[in-house]
Structure 1
C-alpha cells in the first residue's frame, strides 16, 4: 500500500525524484508529516524508516514568489553549512513544480527542541534557561562574523540604504492594513525616520532571529538555526534589536503573543547587548533605535493580523485579542526610542 499523501507533498513523487537526483539516498517508501503550516512556508518531516529529512515548500496557493523563495533559503543554508553557524545540511533543491506543485528543498533532519514559551523554559530551570539564551546570542555573533563574500553570499542583498528601505517597507505595510486610529504609530514611524542610525559593515542577517526559530539539543546547545525566509545582507544590529525586543519582559495577560523573557534565569536585555558588543566588537550604542524599530515592525505585523480578523479572513483562537495588544507594542517602541 502506498503511503498516504500529505497536502502539498506527495511522498511517492518525492521518492521518485530523490531516486533520480540522489541515487541510493532513500532505502524504502517515504512517509511525510506536516510539522509547520499556514501562511508561512510549509515544513514536513519525511522518513524512509531509517533516515529522516525535512522538506520546505511555499504555502498552498501562494502568489508572492519573492516572499517564499526556496532557492534563496536553500542558498543561504548551503553557504553557511561549512561555517560555525549551525544549520541543517542541505540535500537538494527542486525547482520543477511538477514534483510537488511548487519549488521545494530537502535538508537533513536535525534533532532539537524549539522553545516557544516561558513555561517551556521554566521546566528547564534557571541555569539551563540562562545557558540556552546565551547560546542563542553567541550563535548570532557567529552568524554576523561570517564574511558574506567568502561563502558566496556577496550579492545576497542590497545593504546600501538598508535601514531606510526597511522603514519605508513597514510603513507601506502599515498603510495597507489600517482599519482604525492607532495613537502614536505615526509618531513612532516619524521618530525612527528622523533618528536613522548609520549602519555598520553589512553581514548576513537572519531577519527573524528568536528562540523559537532555533533548535536546542539535549545538551542545551543550539543545534540548528531555522526559517531563513527573511534573510538578506544588511545591518546586523536589526537582528540584535529584534532579539532584544523578544527578551524584554512585557505584561500581556491572556495574550496569544508568547514570550520567553519571563522565564526564571532568562538573561536581561542589558546583559545580552553587552555580551554581543564584547564578542562581536561592534558598537551597540544605538541599539535603542533598533529595538524600537523591532517594536514598530511587530506592531505592524499584529495590526495586519487584526485587520484580517476584522474581515473574517483568519481562523483560530486568540485572533480576537490581537487588536488590543498593538497599542502596547507602539508604546514600548516610543518609550525605547525616547530612553535611548
Structure 2
C-alpha cells in the first residue's frame, strides 16, 4: 500500500508466485501466490476482470502484502507467511474484522473488500482490501512534508491519531465482543513467554529474566481501548500534500482490546530521536531529524489529551521490546530454516538484533546488565 513499490509483474517466478495449483504442488515449499486460485477468488467477489499483475509491497517482516492489479482496478492482498505458524498468530480473519468494525469510527482504515478463511486457497487465510495511494514515512522525508511546520505537524498527527484510536468506545457494538480487556497485560506476558520456545533454536537468558520481571510488576490498567499493537509512524499512511494528515492506519495484525498504554509504550520504545541508540526496530529513522517531536514530547502530547497517568510507562516500554524480541526471533528462526530465502538483510541481522532488543528492554525495566539470577527491581507502588 506504500508508494515506491516494485514494478508490477505479470510472469510467475516459479517459487513465490506460480500460475496454477498444479505448479504449486510440484514445489517443496509452498508459494505465496497462486494466480489461478486468486483469480477465481476475485471473480467470486466481483473484484476486477482479466489477468493479474502483482508486486510485493511493504516491509513483509511478518505478514505479506501484495499489490494486485486487474485491468483498471487495483487491490491489496494480505496474507500470513508460509505455514506452519505458531498458535494464535497471523490471524488474517481477525485482522480484517477489526478494520471492518472500525469503519465509521473516525479512525482511518482501508476498506476490506473480501476475506478468505479457507486455507485450501493459498495455504493460509487472507483478505483483500482497497489500494490507497499515499505516503508512508520511513527513511526519507517527503518533499511536501519537509518544512519545519510540516515536520511538527507530522509528529502531532502520529500522536493525535493514536489518541483518536484509544477514544473509540469499546463497550458497544462488535467491539464489546472483540477482545477481553480484563487481564490483557497478564495474558500478553504469558502468551509471549510460551511463544519463545516455539520460535527459537538458541538460549537467551534475558527472555526469561524480563518475562519474570514483567509478570511480577504488572501495573493496574486504568481503562480499556482498541489497541493497534504495532503502532508506529511506518504503519501510517499520510496524504501526499500538506498539511500532514493520516489517511490510513495499516497492519492490524496485533490488534486487541486492552490497556492503551501498551500502544504508547511500543511507539515510544521504538521511537528514533537524536542521540538515542540505534535499534533493530528503528523503522522510521527520519524522526532523528530536526523538527520532529522528541520522545518526551510525544509522551507529553498523548498525556495532555488523555489525562492518563504515565507513571508506569517504563513497564510498557520494556514489554514492547521484550515482545518484539520474541517475534523477531521467530523471523530469524524462519530464515535459519530456509523459509525466507530472499531476506538478505533483516532476518540475518536478528542474530545480534534480538539480544540488542532485550538489552534495551532491560534499560526500560531498570535492570542492570548483571547476571541473570539477580533479584529484579520492582516498580514503585502508585
Query: Would you call these one fold, judging by a TM-score over 0.5?
Result: yes
In the alignment, which of 106, 113, 116 is matched to residue 84 of structure 1?
106
Is 1:154 aligned to residue 182 of structure 2?
no
Q: CA deviation at 1:51?
A: 2.6
Q: Are residue 329 (structure 1) and residue 360 (structure 2) matched?
A: no
Aligned to 1:197: 219
User: How far is the alpha carbon of 1:140 from its aligned partner?
Assistant: 1.0
The answer to whether the aligner puts 1:60 opposite 2:82 as a matched pair is yes
Q: How much does 1:327 deviate? A: 4.2
Distance 1:145 1:156 in 2: 16
263-272 or 96-105: bigger deviation: 96-105
Equivalenced residue count is 332
5+ residue gaps, structure 2: 1-9, 19-31, 368-378
Match of 1:300 in 2: 326
| Residues 151/88 of structure 1: CA separation in 2 closer, same or farther (3 Å cut) | farther
**Among 249, 253, 258, the residue aligned to 1:229:** 253
| TM-align CA RMSD | 3.1
Measure, in 1, the Cα distance between the counterparts of 2:58 and 2:263.
23
Distance 2:86 2:361 in 1: 29
Please give the residue correspondences for 1:160-179 in structure 2 after superposition, counting only pairs within 5 Å: 160-176=182-198, 177=200, 179=202
Cα distance in 2 between the residues matched to 1:224 and 1:62: 31
Partner Cα separation in structure 1 for residue 292 and residue 331 of structure 2:
29
Q: Judging changes above 3 Å, is the alpha-carbon distance between structure 1 residues 180 and 58 closer, same or farther for their aligned structure 2 residues?
A: closer
Residues 178 and 198 (structure 1), Cα distance of their counterparts in 2 relative to 1, 3 Å cut: farther
Residues 14-71 of structure 1, C-alpha deviations (whole Å, 9 max, x = no match): 444444433xx52544423232585632211122332321112232344457322222
Q: Is the 8 A contact 2:335 2:348 kept in 1?
A: yes
* 1:72 is the counterpart of 2:94: yes
Seen in structure 2, the aligned counterparts of structure 1 residues 321 and 57 have a Cα distance that, compared at 3 Å, is: closer
**Residue 116 of structure 1 corresponds to which residue in structure 2?**
138
Q: Distance in 2 between matches of 1:103 and 1:185?
A: 31
CA contact 1:12–1:29 (8 Å) conserved in 2 = no
- Structure 1 residues not aligned, in runs of 5+: none
Deviation track 1:268-313 (CA, whole Å, cap 9, x = no partner) reads 1221112112222322222121112112222334455556666777
| Alignment partners' CA distance in 1, 2:196 and 2:284 | 23
Q: Does 1:213 align with 2:235?
A: yes
Contact 1:178 1:307 (C-alpha < 8 Å) held by counterparts: yes
Aligned to 2:345: 317
Change in 2 beyond 3 A, CA 1:103/1:317: closer
For 2:357 and 2:106, locate their aligned partners in 1 and report how far apart those are by CA, in whole Å.
34
> Residue 103 in 1 paired to residue 130 in 2?
no
Question: Once the two structures are superposed, what CA deviation does each residue of 1:239-273 show, in whole Å capped at 9, x if it has no partner?
Answer: 110001111543239x6854424232221122111
Matched position secondary structure for 1:52: strand
Q: Does structure 1 residue 274 correspond to structure 2 residue 294?
A: no
Rounded to whole Å, the distance in 1 between the matches of 2:49 and 2:328 is 45
Instruction: Map 1:18-33; keep pairs closer than 5 Å.
Output: 18-22=42-46, 25-33=47-55
Report the alpha carbon displacement of residue 77 of structure 1 after superposing the two structures with TM. 0.8
- Return the TM-score normalized by structure 1: 0.83
* Aligned residue among 296, 307, 310 for 1:284: 310
The question of whether the paired residues in 1 share the 8 Å contact of 2:118 and 2:124 is answered with yes
- Contact 1:129–1:263 (CA<8 Å) still a contact in 2? no
CA contact (8 A) 2:62 2:331 kept: no
Give the 3 Å change call, closer, same or farther, for CA 14–187 of structure 1 in structure 2: closer
Partner of 2:21: none
Partners of 1:256 and 1:275 in 2: how far apart? 23
Post-superposition shift, 1:10? 4.3
Instruction: Say yes or no: does 1:240 pair with 2:264.
Output: yes
